[in-house]
């Protein structure tokens, strides 16, 4: 397996994505959704006070990306990441194209790695577009007033920008964990519906489980635990323990899911 071969496969997969409707729709929604949100906020008198930073959404444009982030981590981020990852392998079964793909000069390991790299790149791209779009929408629609953090301290624009970037970056590990889950489901079930739908449903169920009474330890083992870690970055002083813990759990999901998925794909008979 060589890096050049993996890059080649990634290039081919990206070219395929460019010609598909679903990834383009996802990126368009990521780019335009925050502007629609801000437009709705400007039309209504109330603010989403039950959401973190919701009460500040009309006071500072920097609150917008954080409100969007809080909402998106519930099910939007899992959906954004699963829409490509959950379909990437199952689509080859749906179209019957494994035969075409595996009778070229690339090994199964290289094709697996290239496809996984594409899925991760798309997840990161979708999150980056959503983050950038919500920041721009907030700044354009509301303004660049200082942001009041969770400790009640005002953050100057430059500092607020840094914290917002860190907050969005902190959801990358759990997003990648869910991407890996979607890849595994896509390979094992050979169904795009399962590959895309199950990670979203599972992530939503994990998120909702925090509202059920019970011991805290099992919740920390959920891949979605890391989605709340950004709260610690918006306090003064910031605390990082949930971030470290959530990232560790996400990496564990990622390694286990990809190891199992790789084993399945390199041993599978393409007999259908």
Partner 1 sequence: MEPALEAVGISKRYAGCDALSGVSLIAKPGELHGLLGPNGAGKTTLLRIVLGLVRRDAGTVRLFGRAVADPLGPLPDGVAGFVETPTFYPYLSGRRNLELLARLDDDRRGQNGSRVLDALRRVALTEAADVRVAAYSAGMRQRLGVAASLLRSPRVLLLDEPTSSLDPAGAQSVRDMVRRLAAEGVAVVLSSHDMSEVEALCEAVTIIDHGSVVYSGTIDGLRQAAPAPVHALHTSDDRAALALAAGRPALRAAAAADDNGLIVSADTGSLDAYVLALAEIGVAVRTLEHRGRSLEALFLHLTSAVRH
Q: Which of 231, 105, 254 is nearest to 179 (CA)?
A: 254
* One residue of 25, 32, 100, 208 binding partner 1 per CB under 8 A: 100
Task: Confirm or reject binding of residue 102 to partner 1 (CB under 8 A).
Answer: yes
Question: CA 228 → CA 15, 88, 147, 172, 201, distances in Å?
Answer: 34, 28, 19, 12, 18
* One residue of 3, 49, 241, 267 binding partner 1 per CB under 8 A: 267
Binding range to partner 1, per CB under 8 A, among 25-33, 55-63, 106-114, 129-137? 106-114
Q: Kindly calculate the radius of gyration of the chain based on its CA atoms and give it in whole angstroms.
A: 20
Task: Confirm or reject binding of residue 16 to partner 1 (CB under 8 A).
Answer: yes
* One residue of 25, 221, 255, 266 binding partner 1 per CB under 8 A: 266
Task: Confirm or reject binding of residue 220 to partner 1 (CB under 8 A).
Answer: no
Task: Confirm or reject binding of residue 107 to partner 1 (CB under 8 A).
Answer: yes
* One residue of 28, 39, 42, 99 binding partner 1 per CB under 8 A: 99
Task: Confirm or reject binding of residue 22 to partner 1 (CB under 8 A).
Answer: no
**The residue to which tokens 């509301």 are assigned:** 142
Q: DSSP 3-state helix, strand, coil percentages of the chain (rounded to 5)?
A: 75, 0, 20
Alpha carbon distance 132, 115 (integer Å): 25
Task: Confirm or reject binding of residue 142 to partner 1 (CB under 8 A).
Answer: no
Q: Are 133 and 32 in contact (CB under 8 A)?
A: yes
Alpha carbon distance 74, 224 (integer Å): 9
Q: Which of 15, 62, 17 is nearest to 38 (CA)?
A: 62
Least Å distance between CB 191 and partner 1? 18
Residue 155, phi then psi, degrees to nearest 5: -110, 125
Task: Confirm or reject binding of residue 104 to partner 1 (CB under 8 A).
Answer: yes
Least Å distance between CB 94 and partner 1? 10
**Nearer to partner 1 (CB atom), residue 12 or residue 256:** 12
Site for partner 1 in 77-96 (CB under 8 A): 95-96
- Residues at the interface with partner 1 (CB under 8 A): 4, 8-9, 11-12, 15-16, 19-20, 95-108, 110, 266-267, 269-271
């Amino acid at each position: 397996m060589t890096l050049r071969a993996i890059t080649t496969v990634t290039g081919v997969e990206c070219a395929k994505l460019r010609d598909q409707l679903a990834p383009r729709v996802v990126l368009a929604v990521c780019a335009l959704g925050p502007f629609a949100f801000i437009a709705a906020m400007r039309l209504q008198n109330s603010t989403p006070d039950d959401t973190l930073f919701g009460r500040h959404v009309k006071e500072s444009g920097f609150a917008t990306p954080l409100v969007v982030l809080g909402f998106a981590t519930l099910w939007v981020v899992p959906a954004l990441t699963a829409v490509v990852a959950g379909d990437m392998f199952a689509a080859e079964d749906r179209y019957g194209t494994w035969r075409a793909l595996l009778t070229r000069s690339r090994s199964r390991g290289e094709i697996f790695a290239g496809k996984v790299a594409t899925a991760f790149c798309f997840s990161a791209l979708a999150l980056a577009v959503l983050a950038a779009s919500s920041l721009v929408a907030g700044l354009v629609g509301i303004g660049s007033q200082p942001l009041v953090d969770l400790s009640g301290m005002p953050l100057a624009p430059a500092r607020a920008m840094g914290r917002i970037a860190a907050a969005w970056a902190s959801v990358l590990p759990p997003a990648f964990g869910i991407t890996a889950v979607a890849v595994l489901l896509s390979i094992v079930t050979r169904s795009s519906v399962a590959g895309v739908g199950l990670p979203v449903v599972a992530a939503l169920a994990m998120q909702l489980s925090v509202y059920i009474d019970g011991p805290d330890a099992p919740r920390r083992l959920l891949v979605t635990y890391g989605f709340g870690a950004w709260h610690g970055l918006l306090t003064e002083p910031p605390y990082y323990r949930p971030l470290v813990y959530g990232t560790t759990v996400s990496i564990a999901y990622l390694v286990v899911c990809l190891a199992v998925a790789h084993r399945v794909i390199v041993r599978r008979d393409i007999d259908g």
